[in-house]
Chain A
Amino acid sequence: DGGITQSPKYLFRKEGQNVTLSCEQNLNHDAMYWYRQDPGQGLRLIYYSQIVNDFQKGDIAEGYSVSREKKESFPLTVTSAQKNPTAFYLCASSSGGRAYNQPQHFGDGTRLSIL
């Protein structure tokens, strides 16, 4: 089945540790996105990528890093500089062209907590 796979489903981070969240899609989508959702809040964009080897900062990029070495994959690293990492992290993708009029499709998310 085509879709977006995020792993792990749950992740715990120790103080000072970097952790990486995986996002893989087999939809042949060009654009991929990372969002963070806090309880009672809307989704906030962390990073997005329009094409392989290119990515742009979103609204809350500080403390995060990404790479886009393959079309299918867009991993997110939560660094130790992100002091409040506890949240629900969602990866999404959309097809190419004028992406603003293309809906985004989401993976089932990773819940990150601090130990």
Chain B
Amino acid sequence: RKEVEQDPGPFNVPEGATVAFNCTYSNSASQSFFWYRQDCRKEPKLLMSVYSSGNEDGRFTAQLNRASQYISLLIRDSKLSDSATYLCVVAMNSGYSTLTFGKGTMLLVSP
């Protein structure tokens, strides 16, 4: 089983739609979770950290379900500029160890 799994998509949605991505992780010792956004041929950029209680940043809401080992990202009122690949990222509680990146979910928002 892959450590971090995401549906590669693409998710094609019209402007204004609400879209949700899920990501599952295999290691129950995982402690920290992030969503990154990566535009085509660009570097990943941090979108938001994911907290146990869930968190919201404008149109973006992230949720964590430790029992089922998945995290989600909800985007409301999609904009054309939201078109990108969204990377799910997981870190274990092992000091300076490393982040594990999912392969990403591609979102295409159309007019």
Contacts and interface: CB of A to CB of B under 8 A. Distances in A.
Contacts of A58: 98
B20 interface: no
Contacts of A35: 101
Contact of A106 (B4, B43, B102): B43
B43 A99 contact: no
A100 B90 CA distance: 9
B109 interface: no
A93 B103 CA distance: 20
A105 B46 contact: yes
Contacts of B18: none
B97 interface: yes
Nearest to A30: B96
Interface residues of B, number: 26
Interface residues of A, number: 24
Given A33-B98, A48-B98, A100-B97, A108 B42 contact: yes
B45 A45 contact: no
Given A31-B96, A48-B98, A106 B45 contact: yes
Contacts, number: 53
Contacts of B103: 40-42
A50 interface: yes
A58 B42 CA distance: 22
A30 to B, nearest CB: 9
Contacts of B104: 42
25 contacts: A41-B103, A42-B4, A43-B44, A43-B101, A48-B96, A58-B98, A90-B44, A98-B95, A99-B95, A99-B96, A99-B97, A100-B31, A100-B92, A100-B93, A100-B95, A101-B31, A101-B32, A101-B91, A104-B46, A106-B43, A106-B44, A107-B43, A108-B42, A108-B43, A109-B43
Question: What are the nearest 3 A-B pairs in CB distance?
Answer: A106-B43, A42-B103, A100-B91
Interface of B: 4, 8, 31-32, 34, 41-46, 49, 87, 91-99, 101-104
